[in-house]
Structure 1
């Protein structure tokens, strides 16, 4: 499996959207048409030192001449957000994988309800813009730490009206408490519900939606809920070449493959984006991701090699 050919981008604008959150507007570096995208899509930016990070597109799909992402400065992160907030300059050239979508919008839903937390507003904003173009109603509940840390607040207020509702919930105010269970309970039975934000918010959303039809419940995680499998002690076999590699303690399958120059796509390295999904030919995976459904994990026919391991002594992959 090969990585898609990267797109050459040029950074046209950097804008402060809230305390600790900046947006980055990219255009084509060579004046070529940018690949189209759908609401909820992300691009994988190629950063220094081999880092590849997924960032949701915040602009509307109809605004196809540019890609706009927003990045929150995470002082506890792995370095990518710190680099984005200090190093890039307008005019810089960067590369990215073409847009892909793991958090697709159901455009013909009669009603859509969104719950966003912090930087989780980024894919949601693109969805709201698309629904506004289509004349569809929606409701947004947007939680953040404080008004100063709420990105795109003015934009969202301007979008409200004509069947579109925006409610803000600030952690800095003791009177504002986000009641996810009540939001889900009060949502129309036919509504499609979306959530993007911190892990605890996603977990509460999933629990609250347990009795709703699965096809109406949509969420996207930005961080893993489980530790990566780094126990090692098993072999990975590449079915196409027959190559065999021992996964040592402290290493993931992805680490091992990259150490041996095996070309495998990856982005988040946390099991949330789905980029590194690989078919399992035989063996039993030890699933540690937050991307595959419970049914997909039970089938044991695919694995996220960035974080999952093996319960069997040998794992044969379609590589």
Structure 2
């Protein structure tokens, strides 16, 4: 992926262990356009790249604003960036990409964020407020006030129907999503970003909603397969079968052997890598398929086989 350099214009802590970085063009030029829900790939000091959502209003192209949560138990990308990147440094980033694009195709938009998932949701809320094309409600779920990034900004600048809810680590104090999302929402659309647990809770609470009306982004928190049983996968039209070890996805294995597999989010939320399941049994881990689709479909970036071998094919 091609990258270009931006300069770190400012750094600040916006919640406990969550740091905002504002990037600008080194020559004060406008940065590439983006639409709400977009993310950029950022080069981090350990040589890897990480994806971070843009949370500023895209009307202002003089800056990109991201927020990074320090993950001490991660692979070192966030820690290295936070500890080593200072104001004035040059950072390599990609042009904006979008698997979670805001669309004005509903009579009401409901925005639900959990933790650091507020970043793309904040961008969406700002655009909806500025354009006034569609009324929206915002629900922001965090453990407590110290972990509520941009809490004051949300309260002071958004005039939408905003609820900031803290559960203080007590599941019994969680927001009642079932009641909140019950009833007729046939003209509403949800955009939800946050940890996998929140996404599953929203998916469960909206099981009666029309297909396509609930749109997810998993903010890098999907459980990755590790140390699990290997299995075999066959692709219709190919003689070989391919071993999928516990530390790789079906998608990754097939890409490594040269098969052209479509993909985008690689977190089980966009559905780009949906394949037909012809034989075998799947262990579904995505947030795309409905119950009546699981018997003969599989999302290969995250789901695995519950049987020793499965056979898949491209969708019609």
What's the TM-score once normalised by structure 2's chain length? 0.77
Please say if residues 19 and 69 of structure 2, whose CA atoms lie closer than 8 Å, have aligned partners that are also in contact.
yes
**In structure 2, how many angstroms separate the alpha carbons of the residues matched to 1:114 and 1:286?**
31
The reply to whether residue 41 of structure 1 matches residue 38 of structure 2 is yes
Residue number among 156, 161, 166 corresponding to 2:162 in the alignment: 166
1:259–1:45 distance in 2 versus 1, CA, 3 Å: same
Residue number among 182, 202, 206 corresponding to 1:205 in the alignment: 202
2:131 maps to what in 1? Answer: 134
Please say if residues 230 and 252 of structure 1, whose CA atoms lie closer than 8 Å, have aligned partners that are also in contact.
no
1:297–1:188 distance in 2 versus 1, CA, 3 Å: closer
Please say if residues 10 and 91 of structure 1, whose CA atoms lie closer than 8 Å, have aligned partners that are also in contact.
yes
- TM-aligned CA deviation for residue 84 of structure 1: 2.7
**In structure 2, how many angstroms separate the alpha carbons of the residues matched to 1:48 and 1:266?**
26
1:217-261 deviation digits (Å, cap 9, x = unpaired): 122112225635864465899x9xx9x997584552677689999
The reply to whether residue 5 of structure 1 matches residue 2 of structure 2 is yes
2:218 maps to what in 1? Answer: 221
2:191 maps to what in 1? Answer: 194
1:170–1:197 distance in 2 versus 1, CA, 3 Å: same
Please say if residues 116 and 197 of structure 1, whose CA atoms lie closer than 8 Å, have aligned partners that are also in contact.
yes
Please say if residues 229 and 308 of structure 1, whose CA atoms lie closer than 8 Å, have aligned partners that are also in contact.
no
- Structure 2: gaps (5+ residues): none
Please say if residues 99 and 264 of structure 2, whose CA atoms lie closer than 8 Å, have aligned partners that are also in contact.
no
**In structure 2, how many angstroms separate the alpha carbons of the residues matched to 1:118 and 1:184?**
20
**In structure 2, how many angstroms separate the alpha carbons of the residues matched to 1:285 and 1:272?**
18
1:30–1:231 distance in 2 versus 1, CA, 3 Å: farther
2:16 maps to what in 1? Answer: 19
1:112–1:232 distance in 2 versus 1, CA, 3 Å: same
Residue number among 287, 290, 293 corresponding to 2:286 in the alignment: 290
**In structure 1, how many angstroms separate the alpha carbons of the residues matched to 2:241 and 2:3?**
28
- Structure 1: gaps (5+ residues): none
1:153 maps to what in 2? Answer: 151
1:272–1:255 distance in 2 versus 1, CA, 3 Å: closer
**In structure 2, how many angstroms separate the alpha carbons of the residues matched to 1:227 and 1:173?**
26
Structure with more relative contact order (C-alpha pairs < 8 Å, separation 6 or more): 1
